[in-house]
Amino acid sequence: MAQDDVFKKLVAHCKEYGYVFPSSEIYDGLSAVYDYGQYGVELKNNIKKYWWESMVLLHENIVGLDSAIFMHPTIWKASGHVDAFNDPLIDNKDSKKRYRADVLIEEQLAKIDDKITKEVEKAKERFGASFDEKKFRETNPRVVANQAKYDELNARFSKALNSSDLSELRQIIIDNEIVCPISGSRNWTEVRQFNLMFSTEMGSTLEGSNKIYLRPETAQGIFVNFLNVQKTGRMKIPFGIAQIGKAFRNEIVARQFIFRMREFEQMEMQYFVRPGTELEWFAVWKDARMKWHQALGFGEENYRFHDHTKLAHYANAATDIEYRFPFGFKEVEGIHSRTDYDLSQHQQYSGKKLQYFDPEKGESYIPYVIETSIGVDRMFLQVIAAAYGEENIKKDDGTSDIRVVLRLPSFLAPVKLAVMPLVKKDGLPEIAEKIVHDLKFDFNCQYDDKDSIGRRYRRQDAIGTPYCITIDHQTIDDQTVTIRYRDSMEQERVNISGLKDIIFEKVSIGTLLKKL
Ligand code: GAP
């Protein structure tokens, strides 16, 4: 199936099964804003719990914070967002569509990279075990030519971005014959800078009002509370502050469903370290965060690091963790070594000292910061994309059918088990209801007695429920039920009294956290 079709199916599946709805849908929606339905909110909460516990529960030296969305406007001046949180935009005069100039060029780079990857994959298949990828990349004329093209374009692009040279960005688009995907034309406007922050007014006009911003990242709430937490928690460096919360960006190009939204949620952790040790900690967090992703079991080959060559002015190292989405490898999380930039800026703009007294060194300094920053919604999309599957299955009458299944890791699944009486009589519903009543204190359970058992299994597969418990007539005799596993579709007979322990072991967050 074409990857575009896979993505369309994913979006449709999320709507049909109560995961994600377009916001304000009855009013024709609001661009790049989405609502989470009955299953979506559960999955989102489970993702947040996985992140939160991996930070705050597993690390004695990481604590949480919940800072306000509205903050003093000078914070955004100090952080650089008022002056520099811009995207370069360009319009196509024929389609009247607006694009990010840097994204158009990145897509061009990705196309060249794809060509190289395909060539390498083909050769790998042809030569099998004897394949020497390094040598192939160095000698195959097509790969060498494309690599040179890639490097040249990338170097020119990085230079233009680093120097904020907008006319050069436009020239790169022209020289590389990049066309508008809608009109197919190369009739481009100049490139302009566009600030991504939403603003509003605080206070009434009578008493004078203040322009304030909806935070574009949660991180600044952590920086301005750094000393509050350090002092009240008597934290010793190195220590971290973790926060989950909403962020807002007026994205120019808001496409690809919940990948790029105007209102979204972030999970950010700032790790405060001694100056000079930041690159060691950067490596530690790079490793830890990759492990966190890979523990979900979606295949190590689907993740990669993308180290930044173009560094923001405040960073001395940065990388993205990318996942292979249906539309290619894309960033899910950013890990940045932010130096002492943010705290120094806030110290300067607020006039308040933001220093830490290091008892071991006997001196005060502004700590350096390693940041891990991941979007909840983007992680949600990654999980759904990885979990979605369609498979051909043979029916009892010999014909085949397509089974749609969300292979969500059990801990993340919105519903952990569905309890189903085989028929709606003979006392079976009562036994099923009792099981739900007994287990609902520990797990999100669903009672389901509508339609044939096969259709019920399918419905639960599509929701991603990992376990279905079926009560049949044998249950009345021996107090056993069948447990049906979503992924293998295998069934096992177990005692009702053992259900809680069996399920607990499989869905417990502890099982997942122990892999980290
Ligand atoms: N404090 C650093 C920071 O905000 P970022 O790379 O701009 O860094 C971090 O964002 C993460 O937030 C991204 O890796 C992505 O997962 C998520 N994110 C950023 N912009 C987003 C958007 N418009 N919609 C959804 N998620 C977004």
Architecture of domain 86-194: 2-Layer Sandwich (3.30)
Residue 373 Cα: closest atom of ligand 1: 9
How far is 262 from 277, CA to CA, in rounded Å? 36
- How does residue 228 score in pLDDT terms, banded at 50, 70 and 90? very high
Architecture of domain 44-72+196-391: 2-Layer Sandwich (3.30)
Is the Cα torsion angle 189, 192, 197, 199 positive or negative in sign? negative
Going from N- to C-terminal start, the domains of the chain cover 44-72+196-391, 86-194, 408-513
pLDDT value for 452: 92
How far is 311 from 317, CA to CA, in rounded Å? 7
Quote the percentage of the chain above a pLDDT of 90.
Answer: 88
Tokens, residue 323: 């996942």
Q: What are phi and psi of 316, to 5 degrees?
A: -115, 5
Regarding the beta carbon of 386 and ligand 1, being less than 6 Å apart is answered no
pLDDT value for 214: 97
Give the residue-averaged pLDDT of 195-206. Answer: 84
How far is 168 from 88, CA to CA, in rounded Å? 12
403, burial (CB in 10 Å: exposed 0-12, middle 13-18, buried 19+):
middle
pLDDT value for 255: 72
- Tens of pLDDT, residues 386-428: 999 999 988 778 888 899 999 999 999 999 999 999 999 999 9
If you take atom 25 of ligand 1, which residue's CA is the nearest one? 260
- How does residue 132 score in pLDDT terms, banded at 50, 70 and 90? very high
* Statement: the pTM of the whole predicted model exceeds 0.95: no
- How does residue 312 score in pLDDT terms, banded at 50, 70 and 90? confident
State in Å: Cα 155 to ligand 1 middle: 24
Q: How far is CA 130 from CA 15, 123, 139, in A?
A: 47, 11, 16
- Tens of pLDDT, residues 47-104: 999 999 999 999 999 999 999 999 999 999 999 999 989 999 999 999 999 999 999 9
pLDDT at 381 exceeding the cut of 90: yes
Regarding the beta carbon of 373 and ligand 1, being less than 6 Å apart is answered yes
- How does residue 209 score in pLDDT terms, banded at 50, 70 and 90? low
How far is 196 from 82, CA to CA, in rounded Å? 9
- How does residue 203 score in pLDDT terms, banded at 50, 70 and 90? confident
Regarding the beta carbon of 460 and ligand 1, being less than 6 Å apart is answered no
| 209-212 contact pairs (CB < 8 A, 24+) | 210/73, 211/73, 212/70, 212/71, 212/72, 212/73
> Would you say 55 and 70 are in contact if contact means Cβ atoms under 8 Å apart?
no
List Cβ neighbours of 312 (8 Å cut-off, separation of 6 or more): 318, 336
Regarding the beta carbon of 260 and ligand 1, being less than 6 Å apart is answered yes
Regarding the beta carbon of 42 and ligand 1, being less than 6 Å apart is answered no
- Tens of pLDDT, residues 335-375: 999 999 999 999 999 999 999 999 999 999 999 999 999 99
pLDDT at 310 exceeding the cut of 80: no
| Residue 312 three-state SS | coil
State in Å: Cα 330 to ligand 1 middle: 12
Q: Choose which residue among 33, 214, 264, 374 to substitute to test ligand 1 binding: the one with the highest number of ligand atoms within 8 A of its C-beta.
A: 264
State in Å: Cα 266 to ligand 1 middle: 7
Give the residue-averaged pLDDT of 416-441. Answer: 96
State in Å: Cα 375 to ligand 1 middle: 5
If you take atom 27 of ligand 1, which residue's CA is the nearest one? 375
List Cβ neighbours of 81 (8 Å cut-off, separation of 6 or more): 197, 213, 216
pLDDT value for 162: 80
Regarding the beta carbon of 268 and ligand 1, being less than 6 Å apart is answered yes
pLDDT at 4 exceeding the cut of 80: no
Quote the percentage of the chain above a pLDDT of 70.
Answer: 98
Among left, alpha and beta (phi > 0; psi -120 to 50; other), residue 234 is left
Pairing of strands 467-471, 480-485: antiparallel
| Residue 1 three-state SS | coil
> Would you say 197 and 81 are in contact if contact means Cβ atoms under 8 Å apart?
yes
Count the Cβ atoms, other than its own, within 10 Å of residue 336. Answer: 24
Regarding the beta carbon of 263 and ligand 1, being less than 6 Å apart is answered no
If you take atom 16 of ligand 1, which residue's CA is the nearest one? 375
Q: Which amino acid is at 43?
A: L
Q: Which amino acid is at 497?
A: S
State in Å: Cα 454 to ligand 1 middle: 41
Regarding the beta carbon of 484 and ligand 1, being less than 6 Å apart is answered no
- How does residue 2 score in pLDDT terms, banded at 50, 70 and 90? low
Residue 336 Cα: closest atom of ligand 1: 2
Could you say which of 3.30.70.141, 3.30.10.20, 3.40.50.800, 3.20.20.450 is the CATH number of the domain covering 408-513?
3.40.50.800
Nearest to 170 by CA among 97, 96, 112, 105: 105
Regarding the beta carbon of 370 and ligand 1, being less than 6 Å apart is answered no
Regarding the beta carbon of 251 and ligand 1, being less than 6 Å apart is answered yes
Q: How far is CA 40 from CA 24, 25, 464, in A?
A: 16, 16, 11
pLDDT value for 210: 84
Tell me the β-bridge partners of 363.
358
If you take atom 4 of ligand 1, which residue's CA is the nearest one? 217
State in Å: Cα 374 to ligand 1 middle: 6
Helix (H) or strand (E) holding 277, with range, is none
Give the residue-averaged pLDDT of 225-229. Answer: 97
Q: Choose which residue among 71, 271, 373 to substitute to test ligand 1 binding: the one with the highest number of ligand atoms within 8 A of its C-beta.
A: 373
Give the residue-averaged pLDDT of 461-485. Answer: 97
Q: Which amino acid is at 353?
A: K
DSSP states of 331-390: EEEEEEE-TTHHHHHHHHHH-----EEETTTTEEEPPEEEEEEEEHHHHHHHHHHHHEEE
List Cβ neighbours of 204 (8 Å cut-off, separation of 6 or more): none
Regarding the beta carbon of 217 and ligand 1, being less than 6 Å apart is answered yes
Regarding the beta carbon of 245 and ligand 1, being less than 6 Å apart is answered no
pLDDT value for 426: 94
pLDDT value for 129: 86
- How does residue 253 score in pLDDT terms, banded at 50, 70 and 90? confident
The mean pLDDT value of the chain amounts to: 94
State in Å: Cα 260 to ligand 1 middle: 8
